[in-house]
Structure 1
Protein backbone atom coordinates (compact mmCIF):
# COMPACT_ATOMS: atom_id res chain seq x y z
CA UNK A 1 0.00 0.00 0.00
CA UNK A 2 1.39 3.38 -0.99
CA UNK A 3 0.97 6.46 1.17
CA UNK A 4 2.36 9.96 1.20
CA UNK A 5 4.72 9.78 4.17
CA UNK A 6 8.10 11.30 4.86
CA UNK A 7 9.77 9.42 7.70
CA UNK A 8 11.74 11.38 10.29
CA UNK A 9 15.43 10.71 10.58
CA UNK A 10 16.90 8.75 13.48
CA UNK A 11 17.79 11.94 15.40
CA UNK A 12 14.16 13.10 15.39
CA UNK A 13 12.71 9.64 16.03
CA UNK A 14 15.11 8.51 18.76
CA UNK A 15 16.17 11.75 20.45
CA UNK A 16 14.08 14.84 19.67
CA UNK A 17 10.56 13.36 19.79
CA UNK A 18 11.14 11.54 23.11
CA UNK A 19 12.80 14.65 24.60
CA UNK A 20 10.08 17.06 23.40
CA UNK A 21 7.40 14.60 24.52
CA UNK A 22 8.87 14.37 28.02
CA UNK A 23 9.12 18.16 28.25
CA UNK A 24 5.54 18.62 26.99
CA UNK A 25 4.14 16.15 29.51
CA UNK A 26 5.76 18.26 32.23
CA UNK A 27 4.57 21.54 30.70
CA UNK A 28 8.13 22.61 29.85
CA UNK A 29 8.05 22.36 26.06
CA UNK A 30 8.13 25.52 23.96
CA UNK A 31 4.88 27.16 22.91
CA UNK A 32 1.73 25.07 22.96
CA UNK A 33 3.51 21.76 22.33
CA UNK A 34 1.56 18.85 23.77
CA UNK A 35 1.55 15.09 23.49
CA UNK A 36 -1.18 13.52 21.38
CA UNK A 37 -2.28 10.15 22.76
CA UNK A 38 -4.37 7.96 20.45
CA UNK A 39 -5.18 4.24 20.34
CA UNK A 40 -3.34 2.19 17.74
CA UNK A 41 -5.52 1.08 14.86
CA UNK A 42 -4.28 -2.52 15.08
CA UNK A 43 -2.95 -3.05 18.58
CA UNK A 44 -5.30 -0.84 20.57
CA UNK A 45 -2.23 0.28 22.51
CA UNK A 46 -2.03 3.96 23.39
CA UNK A 47 0.56 5.71 21.17
CA UNK A 48 1.94 9.17 21.90
CA UNK A 49 3.45 11.82 19.66
CA UNK A 50 4.55 15.38 20.51
CA UNK A 51 2.73 17.94 18.34
CA UNK A 52 2.16 21.67 18.38
CA UNK A 53 -1.45 22.67 17.76
CA UNK A 54 -2.08 25.91 15.91
CA UNK A 55 -5.09 28.08 16.67
CA UNK A 56 -7.03 29.65 13.82
CA UNK A 57 -10.28 31.55 14.40
CA UNK A 58 -10.56 30.23 17.95
CA UNK A 59 -10.16 26.55 17.00
CA UNK A 60 -7.07 24.47 17.65
CA UNK A 61 -5.77 22.30 14.83
CA UNK A 62 -3.23 19.51 14.38
CA UNK A 63 -1.17 19.41 11.19
CA UNK A 64 0.95 16.56 9.88
CA UNK A 65 3.93 18.03 8.04
CA UNK A 66 5.21 14.52 7.31
CA UNK A 67 2.02 13.33 5.63
CA UNK A 68 0.12 10.15 6.48
CA UNK A 69 2.00 9.33 9.64
CA UNK A 70 0.95 6.60 12.03
CA UNK A 71 -0.66 9.17 14.34
CA UNK A 72 -2.81 10.38 11.43
CA UNK A 73 -3.84 6.84 10.48
CA UNK A 74 -4.54 5.97 14.13
CA UNK A 75 -6.57 9.14 14.66
CA UNK A 76 -8.69 8.38 11.61
CA UNK A 77 -9.25 4.79 12.79
CA UNK A 78 -10.19 6.04 16.28
CA UNK A 79 -12.90 8.26 14.78
CA UNK A 80 -11.00 11.34 15.96
CA UNK A 81 -11.01 10.34 19.65
CA UNK A 82 -7.73 11.22 21.35
CA UNK A 83 -6.15 13.08 24.25
CA UNK A 84 -3.78 16.02 24.45
CA UNK A 85 -1.41 15.90 27.41
CA UNK A 86 0.60 18.79 28.74
CA UNK A 87 1.84 19.93 32.12
CA UNK A 88 0.30 16.98 33.93
CA UNK A 89 -3.15 17.66 32.43
CA UNK A 90 -5.01 15.32 30.11
CA UNK A 91 -7.64 16.80 27.80
CA UNK A 92 -9.94 14.52 25.77
CA UNK A 93 -10.34 15.87 22.23
CA UNK A 94 -12.42 15.02 19.19
CA UNK A 95 -10.57 15.60 15.92
CA UNK A 96 -12.26 16.18 12.58
CA UNK A 97 -10.20 16.05 9.40
CA UNK A 98 -10.58 19.14 7.21
CA UNK A 99 -11.08 19.20 3.47
CA UNK A 100 -8.62 21.06 1.25
CA UNK A 101 -10.45 24.40 1.26
CA UNK A 102 -10.71 24.48 5.05
CA UNK A 103 -7.10 23.30 5.47
CA UNK A 104 -5.56 26.15 3.45
CA UNK A 105 -5.85 28.94 6.09
CA UNK A 106 -4.68 26.54 8.82
CA UNK A 107 -1.63 25.49 6.81
CA UNK A 108 -0.89 29.18 6.14
CA UNK A 109 -1.04 30.03 9.86
CA UNK A 110 1.13 27.03 10.76
CA UNK A 111 3.76 27.77 8.10
CA UNK A 112 3.83 31.48 8.93
CA UNK A 113 4.25 30.63 12.62
CA UNK A 114 7.20 28.35 11.82
CA UNK A 115 8.90 30.90 9.56
CA UNK A 116 12.21 29.66 8.19
CA UNK A 117 12.01 26.57 10.39
CA UNK A 118 9.19 25.33 8.13
CA UNK A 119 11.84 24.02 5.73
CA UNK A 120 12.80 21.40 8.32
CA UNK A 121 9.28 19.90 8.33
CA UNK A 122 7.85 20.75 4.91
CA UNK A 123 9.65 19.89 1.69
CA UNK A 124 6.93 21.00 -0.71
CA UNK A 125 5.49 24.28 0.59
CA UNK A 126 6.87 27.28 2.48
CA UNK A 127 5.70 30.41 4.31
CA UNK A 128 4.33 32.95 1.86
CA UNK A 129 2.92 30.25 -0.45
CA UNK A 130 -0.09 31.20 -2.54
CA UNK A 131 -3.55 29.77 -1.89
CA UNK A 132 -3.11 27.58 -4.98
CA UNK A 133 0.21 26.21 -3.72
CA UNK A 134 -1.29 25.50 -0.29
CA UNK A 135 -4.33 23.82 -1.86
CA UNK A 136 -2.03 21.61 -3.94
CA UNK A 137 -0.01 20.66 -0.83
CA UNK A 138 -2.99 20.19 1.53
CA UNK A 139 -3.77 16.57 0.55
CA UNK A 140 -0.19 15.64 1.54
CA UNK A 141 -0.48 17.30 4.98
CA UNK A 142 -3.61 16.17 6.85
CA UNK A 143 -5.17 18.86 9.05
CA UNK A 144 -7.55 18.15 11.94
CA UNK A 145 -9.76 20.59 13.87
CA UNK A 146 -10.01 19.85 17.60
CA UNK A 147 -13.13 20.13 19.69
Structure 2
Protein backbone atom coordinates (compact mmCIF):
# COMPACT_ATOMS: atom_id res chain seq x y z
CA UNK A 1 0.00 0.00 0.00
CA UNK A 2 1.26 3.48 -0.81
CA UNK A 3 1.63 6.14 1.85
CA UNK A 4 -1.11 8.73 2.04
CA UNK A 5 -0.44 12.30 2.98
CA UNK A 6 -2.59 14.74 4.89
CA UNK A 7 -2.00 18.26 6.16
CA UNK A 8 -4.12 19.31 9.08
CA UNK A 9 -5.55 22.73 8.20
CA UNK A 10 -4.52 25.57 10.51
CA UNK A 11 -6.87 26.16 13.45
CA UNK A 12 -8.28 29.37 11.96
CA UNK A 13 -9.04 27.64 8.65
CA UNK A 14 -10.77 24.72 10.42
CA UNK A 15 -12.77 26.69 12.95
CA UNK A 16 -13.39 30.05 11.34
CA UNK A 17 -12.41 29.87 7.68
CA UNK A 18 -15.10 27.55 6.37
CA UNK A 19 -17.88 29.42 8.15
CA UNK A 20 -16.65 32.80 6.96
CA UNK A 21 -16.05 31.59 3.42
CA UNK A 22 -19.67 30.37 3.18
CA UNK A 23 -20.81 33.86 4.17
CA UNK A 24 -18.49 35.86 1.92
CA UNK A 25 -18.10 33.43 -1.00
CA UNK A 26 -21.43 31.57 -1.23
CA UNK A 27 -21.00 31.03 -4.97
CA UNK A 28 -17.68 29.27 -4.34
CA UNK A 29 -18.12 27.40 -1.06
CA UNK A 30 -20.68 24.62 -0.63
CA UNK A 31 -21.31 22.25 2.26
CA UNK A 32 -20.43 18.64 1.53
CA UNK A 33 -22.14 15.93 3.58
CA UNK A 34 -20.93 12.34 3.39
CA UNK A 35 -21.88 9.26 5.43
CA UNK A 36 -19.07 8.09 7.70
CA UNK A 37 -17.42 4.89 6.56
CA UNK A 38 -17.63 3.29 10.02
CA UNK A 39 -20.77 4.66 11.65
CA UNK A 40 -22.81 5.84 8.68
CA UNK A 41 -23.38 9.13 10.52
CA UNK A 42 -23.45 12.04 8.09
CA UNK A 43 -20.44 14.39 8.38
CA UNK A 44 -20.32 17.87 6.85
CA UNK A 45 -17.52 20.15 5.76
CA UNK A 46 -17.14 23.21 3.52
CA UNK A 47 -15.71 22.55 0.06
CA UNK A 48 -15.14 24.35 -3.23
CA UNK A 49 -16.71 22.55 -6.19
CA UNK A 50 -14.55 22.72 -9.29
CA UNK A 51 -16.26 23.00 -12.66
CA UNK A 52 -13.98 21.77 -15.44
CA UNK A 53 -14.76 20.72 -19.03
CA UNK A 54 -18.49 20.55 -18.32
CA UNK A 55 -18.16 18.33 -15.26
CA UNK A 56 -17.96 18.95 -11.52
CA UNK A 57 -15.26 17.77 -9.15
CA UNK A 58 -14.44 17.71 -5.47
CA UNK A 59 -10.74 17.87 -4.65
CA UNK A 60 -9.20 17.26 -1.24
CA UNK A 61 -6.76 20.17 -1.09
CA UNK A 62 -5.38 19.07 2.29
CA UNK A 63 -4.65 15.53 1.10
CA UNK A 64 -6.33 12.31 2.16
CA UNK A 65 -8.94 13.91 4.40
CA UNK A 66 -11.66 12.13 6.35
CA UNK A 67 -14.27 13.38 3.89
CA UNK A 68 -12.32 11.98 0.93
CA UNK A 69 -11.94 8.60 2.64
CA UNK A 70 -15.65 8.57 3.50
CA UNK A 71 -16.62 9.55 -0.05
CA UNK A 72 -14.35 6.87 -1.48
CA UNK A 73 -16.10 4.29 0.72
CA UNK A 74 -19.69 5.43 0.14
CA UNK A 75 -19.61 6.78 -3.42
CA UNK A 76 -22.47 9.13 -2.54
CA UNK A 77 -23.03 12.41 -0.79
CA UNK A 78 -24.96 15.66 -0.63
CA UNK A 79 -23.99 19.21 -1.53
CA UNK A 80 -25.79 22.20 -0.08
CA UNK A 81 -25.34 25.23 -2.26
CA UNK A 82 -27.37 28.41 -2.43
CA UNK A 83 -30.08 26.91 -0.21
CA UNK A 84 -30.61 23.75 -2.26
CA UNK A 85 -29.54 20.23 -1.34
CA UNK A 86 -28.23 18.10 -4.20
CA UNK A 87 -27.62 14.38 -3.90
CA UNK A 88 -24.80 12.99 -5.99
CA UNK A 89 -22.77 9.95 -6.86
CA UNK A 90 -18.99 10.18 -7.00
CA UNK A 91 -16.29 8.45 -8.97
CA UNK A 92 -12.66 8.83 -7.96
CA UNK A 93 -10.52 10.44 -10.64
CA UNK A 94 -7.64 8.28 -11.94
CA UNK A 95 -4.13 9.46 -11.08
CA UNK A 96 -3.26 10.38 -14.69
CA UNK A 97 -6.08 12.97 -14.75
CA UNK A 98 -5.08 14.67 -11.49
CA UNK A 99 -2.35 17.05 -12.75
CA UNK A 100 -4.78 18.92 -15.04
CA UNK A 101 -7.37 19.13 -12.26
CA UNK A 102 -4.81 20.41 -9.75
CA UNK A 103 -3.73 23.07 -12.25
CA UNK A 104 -7.33 24.18 -12.80
CA UNK A 105 -8.09 24.08 -9.04
CA UNK A 106 -5.12 26.36 -8.34
CA UNK A 107 -6.10 28.69 -11.18
CA UNK A 108 -9.65 29.02 -9.81
CA UNK A 109 -9.08 28.86 -6.05
CA UNK A 110 -5.37 29.54 -5.52
CA UNK A 111 -6.06 33.07 -4.22
CA UNK A 112 -8.11 31.69 -1.31
CA UNK A 113 -6.22 31.56 2.01
CA UNK A 114 -3.89 28.55 2.42
CA UNK A 115 -4.76 26.90 -0.92
CA UNK A 116 -1.52 27.58 -2.79
CA UNK A 117 0.55 26.95 0.35
CA UNK A 118 -1.14 23.57 0.83
CA UNK A 119 -0.37 22.46 -2.72
CA UNK A 120 3.24 23.61 -2.28
CA UNK A 121 3.51 21.48 0.86
CA UNK A 122 1.94 18.49 -0.92
CA UNK A 123 3.19 18.94 -4.50
CA UNK A 124 2.36 15.42 -5.78
CA UNK A 125 -1.08 15.49 -7.47
CA UNK A 126 -1.65 11.94 -6.15
CA UNK A 127 -1.77 13.46 -2.64
CA UNK A 128 -5.02 15.25 -3.55
CA UNK A 129 -7.87 12.79 -4.10
CA UNK A 130 -10.44 14.12 -6.53
CA UNK A 131 -13.94 12.89 -7.32
CA UNK A 132 -16.08 13.48 -10.40
CA UNK A 133 -19.62 14.05 -9.15
CA UNK A 134 -22.94 13.48 -10.89
CA UNK A 135 -26.03 15.13 -9.42
CA UNK A 136 -28.79 12.53 -8.97
CA UNK A 137 -31.45 14.53 -7.13
CA UNK A 138 -32.33 18.01 -5.97
CA UNK A 139 -34.34 19.30 -3.05
CA UNK A 140 -34.56 22.18 -0.64
CA UNK A 141 -33.28 22.43 2.88
CA distance in 1, matches of 2:40, 2:49: 24
Question: Secondary structure, in 3 states, of the residue corresponding to 1:53?
Answer: strand
Aligned pairs for 1:1-147 (under 5 A) are 3-21=4-22, 23=23, 29-78=25-74, 80-117=75-112, 118-124=115-121, 137-147=124-134
CA distance in 2, matches of 1:123, 1:31: 25
Report the Cα offset of residue 42 of structure 1: 1.5
CA distance in 2, matches of 1:37, 1:114: 21
CA distance in 1, matches of 2:119, 2:13: 14
How many residue pairs match? The answer is: 131
Uncovered stretches (5+) of structure 1, i.e. residues with no partner = 126-135
CA distance in 1, matches of 2:111, 2:29: 18
Q: Which one has a larger percent helix, Structure 1 or Structure 2?
A: 1
Preserved contact between residue 124 and residue 137 of structure 1 (Cα < 8 Å): no
Distance 1:34 1:116, change over 3 A: closer
TM-score computed with the length of structure 2 as normaliser: 0.81
RMSD: 2.2
CA distance in 1, matches of 2:53, 2:117: 26
TM-score computed with the length of structure 1 as normaliser: 0.78
Q: Which one has a larger percent strand, Structure 1 or Structure 2?
A: 2
